[in-house]
Structure 1
Amino acid sequence: MCFVINLSQPLEPQGPFDIIVHKLSDVIVEAEHDDRSQQLLVNFKKYTSAHPSTVILDPLPAMTQLLDRFVSYRIMNWHICSPPYLEVPSESDLSSIHRAVKEHNLSFPLLCKTRVAHGSLSHEMSLIFGESCLADVRPPCILQSFVNHGAVLHKVFVVGDKHFCVERPSLKNFPAGPCDRKTIFFNSQQVSKPESSSDLNALDEKMPCLPSPRSEALAALVKELRAQLGMALFGVDVIVNINTHTMTVIDLNIFPGYEGVPQFFSSLLDHIRALLDSGAGAADPQGPSSCEPPSASSI
């Protein structure tokens, strides 16, 4: 039997639950400055702590790490090919940003992304082309060396031990190295929508099609990330470097929209059945993460 949980009401009378599938990412982010959201999380944690046999998909601590790009980029930096990056904390001033960019050998252009990796503001990004425009950086944020990838983004959607790869538009190629071009501010969601038509994702020149990431490489990547994250529902943004043809991870996404994945609901139900049949938690079967519950509602 499947139904929606009302988090504003006591959970005990609504249960018991075999499994809770949640997407309380908004509540987790809002809880930093909103008393009501804080209380919802407290109530949810209290219930799940009192019912450890309830399977949580996905565990709250595992989810929380993907809401902070500082944390998720450190995960990406372990054994996964990803572009050089720099964490710019809140207290950074312009001179310290200049110095850090040089010390970390970041190459222009640079992608600037918000620290918070969820919500509408997380899609607001900028492309910075030279040192003179580092004044446009708004900490806290991530600065990441831009990798030319032929305006093609491969969005990998993970559902338990299955994954699906969907091709989307992405930023076009830009000349490597610093230049006097003004900073470009953009919304990544608008650039990478399935039917997006933008000056930012239109290639200026004809170029050969890049190879898609190999299925075996994607499978190995997903297996590695599931083990590291302790999660079953997440997304991975992958590009292919136009110079080296190397598969490169540029972002991790918490419980994505699964747009373009027609098998999502059947795959999710298969994963839930497998979890209930095995009595395992929501994390990777090779290494379930210890846990508290994640947030939000259903089943």
Structure 2
Amino acid sequence: MQTFGRGKRVGYWLSEKKIKKLNFLTFVDMCRKRGIEMVQLDLSQPLEEQGPLDAIIHKLTDHIVEADQNITEALLLVQSVQEYIDAHPETVILDPLPAIRTLLDRFKSYTLIHKIEESMKDDRICSPSFMVLSNECGPDMLEQLHVNGITFPFICKTQVAHGTNSHEMAIIFSEEDLKDIRPPCVIQSFINHNAVLYKVFVVGEAYSVVERPSIRNFPSGPTDRRAISFNSHHVSKAESSSHLTSRENLEGQCRTPSNDVIQKISRCLRQTLGVSLFGIDIIINNQTGQHAVIDINAFPGYEGVPEFFDDLLAHLTNILQDHLPGGPLRVNGVAQSLPVACEVSCGSCWVIDSEGMKKDSHQGLSCCNSDLAPKYQHHCRSTLAAEAPSQ
């Protein structure tokens, strides 16, 4: 058995709910068998006293959201974690806090996706138009929608992409229902996609695709249909079956995701943000066949990905191996010796500076089966090694 991580110390912090849901202690045992010491961090105590740490795995999303709401306790906690990170640049962070902040804000993450798409110049990708609505709809609302390229129907989502409320959404079909919009929120054009959602779960240099139910097709343009409220988490469960997820009115093309497109999108997100644990929600436009990214999630639940711990351990092992003396310079496990394939300037105060975000093009993200059948819970997995050119 390979033991590249032997003698290394990895700190981790997840909520008790997340630990139980993932059965994360199983992963802790897997690491210990590889000689990696796993340290459950106590954020109420100084991290300096719990080090040294070669890497930190965390999901601090609750605390980051509260810190952004100026809750004092959360502000101090997040600040103390960031201070430890700044004082120990040799410690690998899965994932950087500024990058997590970007993914927690739908307006910022959608802006990032559109910038990535512009840099990719790939006609197979066209994510929906969007805008942020901070106040109640005014008399110029229709003009705002027009200026931002948004047409009826459209979806309203909370701007914060975390927590129970983040799954509560509404579809607006006409001007009459604009009064039902509850700001602040992000408005996103609805794209018919034949009621199929593809959830891409990325773990370092591997990803899995899981097919899930989604919202059914609706006629384009304004209609007299009343606004529909729904919980996206319930709708996209593997066993979900309701009138909202009906596939009886399929139209146009019924395509499956392109391996190459998923590679490009995932790689660019890794390169731009420096993240390793994230999910991408993709739908296929049933008229154009184009891929549309409709959401990005930090450290998702990885439901339907039985190999999650194997992929995470492989990624962690690679990171620890690369930190051996003489190893290549890496940021979150990604080598820095090759030119950057996707550079996106995000200009956001939440995004890591450009030097900290650059990654290389060796990550040939790929899917093991390009002919995914429309069967819910279909699971497709691949590592990047087979696609990656030699360095």
- Shared fold, TM over 0.5: yes
CA distance in 1: counterparts of 2:225 and 2:209, whole angstroms: 34
Letter in 2 for 1:18: D
Structure 1, residues 76-119: CA drift from partner, whole Å, max 9, x if none? 1124320111221x245422422201222311111111111111
For 1:94, the equivalent position in structure 2 comes to 138
Q: Please list, as runs of the form range in 1=range in 2, the aligned pairs for 1:146-295 lying within 5 A after superposition.
A: 146-205=190-249, 210-279=254-323, 280-282=330-332, 284-286=334-336, 290=356
For 1:53, the equivalent position in structure 2 comes to 90
Work out whether residues 315 and 333 of structure 2, in 8 Å CA contact, stay in contact via their aligned partners in 1.
no
Work out whether residues 230 and 283 of structure 1, in 8 Å CA contact, stay in contact via their aligned partners in 2.
no
Work out whether residues 253 and 288 of structure 2, in 8 Å CA contact, stay in contact via their aligned partners in 1.
no
Q: 1:227 to 1:91 in 2, by over 3 A?
A: same
Structure 1, residues 52-88: CA drift from partner, whole Å, max 9, x if none? 2111111111111011111001011124320111221
Structure 1 position 216, deviation (Å) = 2.0
Alignment size in residue pairs: 290
Letter in 1 for 2:84: Y
Work out whether residues 124 and 186 of structure 1, in 8 Å CA contact, stay in contact via their aligned partners in 2.
yes
Q: SS at 2:73's partner residue? A: helix
RMSD: 1.9
| TM-score relative to the length of structure 2 | 0.70
For 2:63, the equivalent position in structure 1 comes to 27
Q: SS at 2:162's partner residue? A: coil
Q: Which has the higher contact order (CA 8 A, sep 6+)?
A: 1
For 1:72, the equivalent position in structure 2 comes to 109
CA distance in 1: counterparts of 2:141 and 2:335, whole angstroms: 41
CA distance in 2: counterparts of 1:224 and 1:34, whole angstroms: 33
CA distance in 1: counterparts of 2:249 and 2:255, whole angstroms: 18
Structure 1 position 250, deviation (Å) = 1.1
For 1:294, the equivalent position in structure 2 comes to none
- Name which of 59, 64, 74 aligns with 1:37: 74
CA distance in 1: counterparts of 2:239 and 2:299, whole angstroms: 22
Work out whether residues 226 and 283 of structure 1, in 8 Å CA contact, stay in contact via their aligned partners in 2.
no
Work out whether residues 159 and 184 of structure 2, in 8 Å CA contact, stay in contact via their aligned partners in 1.
yes
Q: SS at 1:219's partner residue? A: helix
Q: 1:59 to 1:228 in 2, by over 3 A?
A: same
CA distance in 1: counterparts of 2:253 and 2:211, whole angstroms: 13
Work out whether residues 136 and 182 of structure 2, in 8 Å CA contact, stay in contact via their aligned partners in 1.
no
Gaps of 5+ in 2: 1-36, 118-125, 324-329, 341-353, 358-391
CA distance in 2: counterparts of 1:146 and 1:170, whole angstroms: 12
Q: 1:174 to 1:10 in 2, by over 3 A?
A: same
Work out whether residues 234 and 254 of structure 1, in 8 Å CA contact, stay in contact via their aligned partners in 2.
yes
Letter in 1 for 2:57: V
Q: 1:290 to 1:206 in 2, by over 3 A?
A: closer
Work out whether residues 194 and 250 of structure 2, in 8 Å CA contact, stay in contact via their aligned partners in 1.
no
CA distance in 2: counterparts of 1:232 and 1:53, whole angstroms: 17
